[in-house]
Amino acid sequence: MSSQDKNLDVKNFIDKYVLQYLYINILFLFLTISGAYLYLRYAIPKFEAKTTILIKSEKQKSGISEEKLLGELGILNPDVNLENEIQILKSRTMMEQVVDELGLNVSYYGVGRITENEIYKESPISVDSFDIGLNNKVEFKVSINSDNTLNLKYGDSIFHVSQDLVFQNNIGFFRFKINTSIPWQPKQEIIISIVNTRALATSLARKIIVVNVGDFSNVLELRLIDPIGKKAVDILNKLIEIYNNAAIEDKNKISANTLKFIEGRLFFLTQELGDVEKDIESFKRKNKIPMSIETTAKSYSENTEQYQKDLSSIAIQIEILLAVQENMKSSSGNFNYIPTNIGINNQSVSTLFEKFNDLLIEKERLSRSGTNNNPKLLTIEAQIDNIRQNIVSAIQDELNNLKLTKLQLEKKVNQLSNFTNSIPKFEREFLEIYRQQNIKESLYLFLLQKREETALSMAVTPNSARVLDAAMVNAKPVEPKKTTIYLIALMLGLGIPIIVISVISLLNDKLYYPTDIENEIDTPIIGTIMQNKKEKQIIVSKNDKSASAEMFRLLRTNLQFMLGPGKSKTILITSSVSGEGKTYIAVNLGVSIALSGKKTILLGLDLRKPKLKSYLVDKPEDVGITNFLISDLGIDDVIFKTEINDNLYFIPSGPVPPNPSELILSKKMDELMEILQSRFEVIIIDTPPVGLVADALLLNKYIDTSIFVIRSGQSRKTSLRLIEDLYKNSKLKSLGIVFNGMKTRNRYGYGYGYG
């Protein structure tokens, strides 16, 4: 499409859909802009609060490390899975704690003339405690009386609350509190809305936006939009606080379980150590052993001291491993954390313990933010079961090794014990008791040390998230956006009328504009005739300078270019159906040509429904073409001169015959056309509608050019297929279209801007 064609299409589009319906477009534009103004006038602004946090990593390093790069490639799992942390921050469980701690499930609104604005922490009336039972939402209006009593309106019922400001009925239990520090107006009403905690937490969790600020960083940005900026800030701060507390609790679960295990062992060891010490006391009292016996026993035990230490260490490890093994075998899927750093010398076993505890922590974190069918959760459970079996197997192997080592050490101790046979019996017995005391005391002191270390680690557990930027709310509201709202209103105001008009135009099967023809078929439009609002049918006269007359002169000029100079020219005028103005076009075109000085005759060959004569003279149909074709009347008997112009003649149709098509095919028709072409310069033939009968097609051999009349608002689009068929298959010679009935308000460049 050329630039000129594009400009023409844009102009036609504006004329057709904008200028023609200008008042409708202006009305819609006014309504949409007014609606946008009213919306912005009463819409509650919303503010956005932001905060950024750093998710700490136990293996966190600065820069782009090898571990980070491998993690990005999916080869190495990162130390911190940010996607899991994001889901935890957006979880309903976390938000429920936020709602409970901030009391967000109770909202207060001030009643205005049009809107209701939320009052956050500044309401003169508050709900101190409540119970709404199974109700998801309870809402009522409350006002304060001068005597500090309350009027409570729930639905259509009004209740008076006085004693202790407590109200209870079938909707629930409520205890109110009046904040005397906040001023209130007489008859001021406060709407109190109490919603279910879980439903509110679910809604708030969906509004929380958590994004990673960089591909190679552990920094998360949290955003929340709310009509109350202070509330949004409080929610974000409380969410981070609860997140840190939950993370600390997760980290301390292993230490807590270890501490519980140590406390249990210390309880039994205290009893056993007490029993051994009582045995020593009883042995000395019974055998009257002096205090120096301990020094003597110690001198004999110096040779076996190292073996005793080794046996003590092995005994500790065996006891711990047996306890852990029993716990792992009897858990039945509900596993507890394994105590770590309690004296297991085998590094591979200790590593398995740490991996097992890490998997339990990951399982609990995913359970809070996902479902039991989470594929990653099922994978972790399978890993837990697999590593549990490995732990049981590794413990058994280590126990076998320790027992074998113990047997070897005991054998060596027994060998050394044979050297003590020279010692009196009571000294040997005392040495055995002393050895048991030494083992119990060593284990007791070791567990005391581990208990203190575990308690200290729990006390100094760091937060998982570090706040980089404290929550802050923008002073400018983010919603609603005035520019966007007005732009949408402008687009709707301009677009809705155009869309509606376009849809109506698409559903309408009638032709209204020349562009409806030009965009569909190749048949040329040779003229456009303005709608005739006058009562007279002949609008062309010698001195007429009206736009309608000028349009017929333009049509005459176009036909002259099409016909060219030479002998007499014959023009056929037809249409698709009756009533499209072909006779009107034929008569006025004939008048215009006659005024140019050419001898012209109008031939009324619409033998089925003749109208030509009624346009020219006020006489009934009597003698015409029918009489010439079926009788011996001469040509001069049927040719009549008009009073309009000396160069204009006409032959009426005459009586309606029973066989019009046969008459047109008769030899008399050849004779008629031959005579007329010899006497007249221009012959204009008014024919029946070609869409109904074939009479016009039978005249094709006589004509030089043909005109197909289309009337605005009456002709249908289905007629375009007929016109295109006539044009492309040359069923009518030099076919052109005349668009009739163009309304003066339609501005398509076919009319004139003067006159």
Read off the pLDDT of residues 267-276 as tens digits, 9 standing for 90 and up: 777 877 777 7
Binned at pLDDT 50, 70 and 90, residue 66 comes out as: very low
- Better-predicted residue by pLDDT, 737 or 7: 737
Sign of CA dihedral 67, 70, 75, 78: positive
Q: How confident is the model at residue 100 (pLDDT cuts 50, 70, 90)?
A: confident
Q: How far apart are the first and last CA of the chain?
A: 34
Contact 675, 545 (CB under 8 A): no
- Report pLDDT for 743: 75
The tens digit of pLDDT for each residue in 615-670 reads: 888 887 788 899 898 888 888 889 999 888 889 999 998 888 888 888 888 889 99
**The pLDDT value given to residue 284:** 67
Element (H, E) at 430: helix 425-459
pLDDT of 749: 42
Structure tokens at 553: 């002169």
Amino acid 619 reads: K
Q: What percent of the chain has pLDDT over 70?
A: 81
- In whole angstroms, what is the distance from residue 340 CA to residue 457 CA? 12
Q: What is the pLDDT of residue 353?
A: 80
Higher pLDDT, 488 or 16: 488
Q: How many degrees, rounded to 5, is the angle at CA 712 between CA 656 and CA 9?
A: 145
In 564-666, which residue ranges form alpha helices assigned H by DSSP? 582-595, 612-616, 625-630, 660-664
Q: Which helix (H) or strand (E) holds 507?
A: helix 482-507
3-state secondary structure of 82: helix
Structural contact between residues 513 and 743, judged by C-beta atoms closer than 8 angstroms: no
pLDDT at 296 over 60: no
Helix (H) or strand (E) holding 434: helix 425-459
CB distance 387 to 352 below 8 Å: yes
φ, ψ at 702 (rounded to 5°): -95, -15
pLDDT band at 298 (very low <50, low <70, confident <90, very high): low
DSSP 659: -
Work out whether strand 150-154 and strand 157-161 pair parallel, antiparallel, or are unpaired: antiparallel
At residue 107, φ and ψ (nearest 5 deg) are -120, 150
**From CA 365, how far away is CA 85, in angstroms rounded?**
9
Residues 154-182 have a mean pLDDT of: 74
Q: What is the pLDDT of residues 439-469, one digit of tens each?
A: 777 777 787 777 777 776 655 555 666 777 7
Long-range CB pairs of 521-524, under 8 A, 24+ apart, other chains included? 521/720, 521/723, 521/724, 521/727, 522/724, 522/727, 522/728, 523/708, 523/723, 523/724, 523/726, 523/727, 523/735, 523/736, 523/737, 524/736, 524/737
Residue 63, pLDDT > 50, answer no
Name the token pair of 39: 């919306």
Average pLDDT over residues 368-377: 71
Residues 425-454 as b or e (16 or more Cβ within 10 Å = b): eebeebbebbbebbbbebbbebbeebbebb
CA distances to 125, 153, 181 from 149, rounded to whole Å, are 11, 13, 16
Measure the CA–CA gap between 210 and 221, rounded to whole angstroms.
6
Identify the helix (H) or strand (E) that includes residue 220. Answer: strand 219-226
pLDDT tens sequence across 68-80 = 444 444 444 445 5
Single out the residue of 472, 465, 479 nearest to residue 233, CA to CA: 472
- Strand, helix or coil at 729? coil
Residue 133, pLDDT score: 63
Sequence-separated contacts (24+) of 636-640 with Cβ below 8 Å: 639/601
Say what the pLDDT of residue 603 is: 93
Instruction: Describe the chain by its helix, strand, coil percentages, rounded to 5.
Output: 50, 15, 30
Distance CA 83, CA 623 (A): 98
Residue whose token pair is 């079926």: 630
Give percent above pLDDT 90 in the chain.
Answer: 8
pLDDT digits (tens, 9 = 90+) for 474-519: 778 778 888 888 899 889 888 888 888 888 777 777 888 888 888 7
* CA torsion, ordered 533, 536, 537, 539, to nearest 10 deg: -80
For residue 268, give the 3-state DSSP assignment: helix
Run of H or E residues at 212: strand 209-212
Mapping DSSP onto H, E and C, the string for 348-402 reads: HHHHHHHHHHHHHHHHHHHHHHCCCCCHHHHHHHHHHHHHHHHHHHHHHHHHHHH
Residue identified by tokens 């049981």 is 392
Side by side, which strands form the sheet with 189-195? 116-119, 106-111, 189-195, 137-144, 150-154, 157-161
CA 555 to chain centre: 57
Average of per-residue pLDDT values in the chain: 78
Return the number of other C-beta atoms located less than 10 Å from residue 470's C-beta. 12
Residue 587, pLDDT above cutoff 70 = yes
Q: Which amino acid is located at 111 in the chain?
A: V
Strands lying side by side in the sheet with 47-55: 209-212, 219-226, 47-55, 465-473
Q: Say what the pLDDT of residue 680 is.
A: 92
Closest among 679, 615, 693, 669 to 647, alpha carbons compared: 679
* Per-residue pLDDT at 574 exceeds 90: yes
Pairing of strands 157-161, 106-111: unpaired
At residue 755 the predicted structure's pLDDT band, cuts being 50, 70 and 90, is very low
Rg for the chain (alpha carbons), in Å? Answer: 53
Q: How far apart are CA 145 and CA 47, in angstroms?
A: 35
Q: Which residues contact 571 (CB under 8 A, 6 or more apart)?
A: 559, 563, 589, 682, 683, 684, 685, 703, 704, 705, 706, 707
Full-prediction pTM beyond 0.85?
Answer: no
Cis bond before residue 480 (omega within 30° of 0): yes
- Tokens found for residue 575: 């249409």
pLDDT in tens, 534-547: 777 888 888 777 78
Identify the pLDDT of residue 682.
92
Whether pLDDT at 383 is above 90: no
Q: What is the pLDDT of residue 62?
A: 42
Q: Are 628 and 675 in contact (CB under 8 A)?
A: no
Cα 545 vs. chain centroid, distance in angstroms? 62
Tell me: pLDDT of 573 over 90.
yes
Question: Is 219's pLDDT higher than 50?
Answer: yes
Higher pLDDT, 170 or 509: 509
What is the DSSP code (8-state) at residue 187? T
Give residue 1's pLDDT: 43
pLDDT at 361: 82
Q: Which two tokens stand for residue 130?
A: 């409540």
pLDDT for res 675: 92
For the CA atoms of 418, 421, 427, 428, what is the dihedral angle to 10 degrees?
40
For residue 595, pLDDT over 50 is answered with: yes
Whether pLDDT at 685 is above 80: yes
Asked if residues 563 and 704 have their Cβ atoms less than 8 Å apart, the reply is yes
Among the ranges given (229-233, 308-312, 342-346), the one the predictor scored with the smallest mean pLDDT: 342-346
Give residue 283's pLDDT. 67
Whether the predicted pLDDT of 568 surpasses 90: no
Q: Which of 441, 449, 450, 451 is nearest to 270 (CA)?
A: 441
Higher pLDDT, 369 or 44: 44
